Amino acid sequence: MNKRLITFLSVCLLLSGTASAELNNPGGNGGVQSLRGATELDQTRPAEALKKYPREQVLTSEYVYQPPLVPHNIRGYEVSLNANKCLSCHSWKNAKEMGATKISVTHYVNREDAVLADVSPRRYFCLQCHVPQANAKPLVENVFRPVESLR
Ligand code: HEC
Ligand code: HEC
């Protein structure tokens, strides 16, 4: 057999192999796994159980200037163009009455370092920085250690 014919035949073999794999498992995940497990694309996995956010959990700071973790549930709290539920308790106007911590003055500073009369746009979407801490098992090991002064 000449070289060309051999190449041609092996390409045919390769192509028919791929085609049959696709026929056996159309829309499959191609063996890709994630830390949350593997799901074929044509199957719907049951949703994970909702996580708990224990109120008594101690949420300490691990580094200086860390946005404090949210020590309460935030399910259903809207933060959008039209409404900011967080500010209904945490704004300077409402904090006292609601018994919540006031947002600090840094939340009023814009990127030109001017102090505004209302929350700065760059601090409007609270959940960009503040997240509640669920009692969930970490998916990967975390070896972060706080700085000496916070230990
Ligand atoms: C119904 C009122 C209320 C709403 C709405 C609310 N909070 Fe709170 N928040 C509190 C109170 C009260 C505390 C004080 C701790 C506690 O009692 O849980 C607190 C504590 C916090 C703290 C910790 C502050 C500190 O000094 O460590 C953060 C951060 C926080 N909330 C963020 C948020 C974010 C982000 C939202 C919106 C997604 C939000 N909160 C919505 C009442 C509220
Ligand atoms: C860009 C990140 C960022 C965003 C967005 C942000 N924060 Fe913060 N927040 C911080 C950091 C950092 C701190 C701690 C240092 C400080 O006070 O500035 C903090 C502190 C706080 C504290 C504690 C204040 C204190 O005196 O101890 C509260 C309460 C809080 N934020 C609520 C909010 C709320 C409510 C929103 C949305 C309206 C918000 N934050 C948006 C970064 C952010």
What is the CATH number for 141? Answer: 1.10.1130.10
pTM for this predicted structure: 0.80
Is there a domain that residue 30 lies in? no
What single DSSP character describes residue 72? S
Is there a domain that residue 134 lies in? yes
Is there a domain that residue 111 lies in? yes
Place of tokens 């700071």: 61
Question: Which residues carry a binding-site annotation for heme c?
Answer: 72, 86, 89-90, 107, 126, 129-130
Give the span between the Cα atoms of 136 and 94, in whole angstroms. 32
Identify the pLDDT of residue 57: 64
Round the CA-based radius of gyration of the chain to a whole number and report it.
27
Q: Residue 62 carries which side chain, given as an amino acid letter?
A: E
CA 72–ligand 1 middle distance (angstroms): 6
CA 67–ligand 2 middle distance (angstroms): 6
Domain that includes residue 127, residue range: 52-151
- Whether the per-residue pLDDT at 115 is higher than 60: the answer is yes
Is there a domain that residue 128 lies in? yes
- Whether the per-residue pLDDT at 148 is higher than 90: the answer is no
Residues 25-60 have pLDDT tens digits of 666 777 777 877 777 777 788 888 888 887 766 667
Q: How many folded domains does the chain comprise?
A: 1
Q: Which of 71, 73, 67 is nearest to 85 (CA)?
A: 73
Q: Is the dihedral of CA 106, 108, 113, 114 positive or negative?
A: negative
